[in-house]
Amino acid sequence: MSIQTAPAVELRNVAVRFGSFTAVAEMNLEVKKAEFVAVVGPTGCGKSTILNVVTGLLKAAHGDVEIFGERLKGLNSRSGYMLQQEAILPWKTAEDNVGLGLVFQGLSKDEARLRAREWMAKVGLKGFEKRYPHQLSGGQRKRIAMAQTLIMEPQIVLMDEPFSALDVHTRRLMHRILLDLWQADKRSLIFITHDLEEAIVLADRVVVMSAGPGSRMVGEVEINLPRPRDVSQLATTDEFVSLYRRIWDMLGKEVEKSYVNQ
């Protein structure tokens, strides 16, 4: 398969072990170019572990990890990672936090600042460039973290429960901002969440993982809801409810198992 047509990410029969503990036994996952995939699963099933495999931070004990058709060796330079806890430096202004990765890459501070200002506007934070993190709300800090990841223009964006700490209204706002940015400049995106509603609202496809240990993919459902999506209305539609039921049918069983295992 050529690099043009190969999936952005392909995991085949991937297992991950920590010593004698098999966290993930047999994971399959394919993410196409420009596709938005959400991964859901019970707590501790290995969702973050899978993202770490895609970044190259963790090595699979067996199985294949391919990025745009090439076997991943070492760190994945095409991926950008946004974590649940923001990597924001308290002594730097918002714009300098956003431009941090560019400075590490060798851009001058002034050039990085210029680019950072463009990204601050894209995430709706024009006018907040000189604020320090403690002068921003939780939602605004998330927008900084999102700009910090996207300014690097990774071909594969990895998000690990990025909005889980936010209240429901701010979360919805973040969904809108994320979908607008993704729609404008489609990149491959893997989004980890516990929240099935969030997964359906955002993604093209929802992948369900089984309860751990030894987890695997138990199913996937295409989310054929039209785009652009109205995140405030979507969850009340019949189509949404029917997708929710279908996925919960698989996920609910795994969540039950994880309670028993704990």
Q: Which residues bind ligand ATP (CB under 6 A)?
A: 18, 21, 23, 41, 43-49, 212
Phi-psi region of 223 (alpha: psi -120 to 50; beta: other; left: phi over 0): beta
When the beta carbons of 69 and 213 are compared against ligand ATP, the nearer one is 213
Phi-psi region of 13 (alpha: psi -120 to 50; beta: other; left: phi over 0): left
Residue number with CB closer to ligand ATP (42 or 80): 42
C-alpha 98/C-alpha 143 separation (Å) is 10
Q: Residue 19 or residue 90: which is nearer to ligand ATP going by CB?
A: 19
Smallest gap from Cβ 161 to ligand ATP, in A, equals 7
- Cα–Cα distance for residue pair 103/106, rounded to 1 Å: 5
Nearest approach, Cβ of residue 194 and ligand ATP (Å): 6
Which is closer to ligand ATP, CB of 46 or CB of 101?
46
At 56, the amino acid letter reads G
C-alpha distance from residue 218 to each of 65, 125, 200, 221, 244 (Å): 19, 40, 17, 11, 16
93/215 with CB nearer ligand ATP: 215
Smallest distance from the beta carbon of 212 to ligand ATP, in angstroms? Answer: 5
Question: In the complex, what is the shortest distance from the CB of residue 42 to ligand ATP, in angstroms, rounded to a whole number?
Answer: 7
Residue holding tokens 């991926």?
Answer: 79
CB of 44 to ligand ATP, least distance (A): 4
CA within 13 Å, CB half, 95:
17
How many whole angstroms separate alpha carbon 44 and alpha carbon 63? 21
Both tokens of 99, joined, read 């431009």
Half-sphere exposure at residue 180, Cβ-oriented, CA atoms within 13 angstroms: 15
Between residues 47 and 113, which has the closer beta carbon with respect to ligand ATP? 47
Shortest distance in whole angstroms from residue 43 CB to ligand ATP: 4
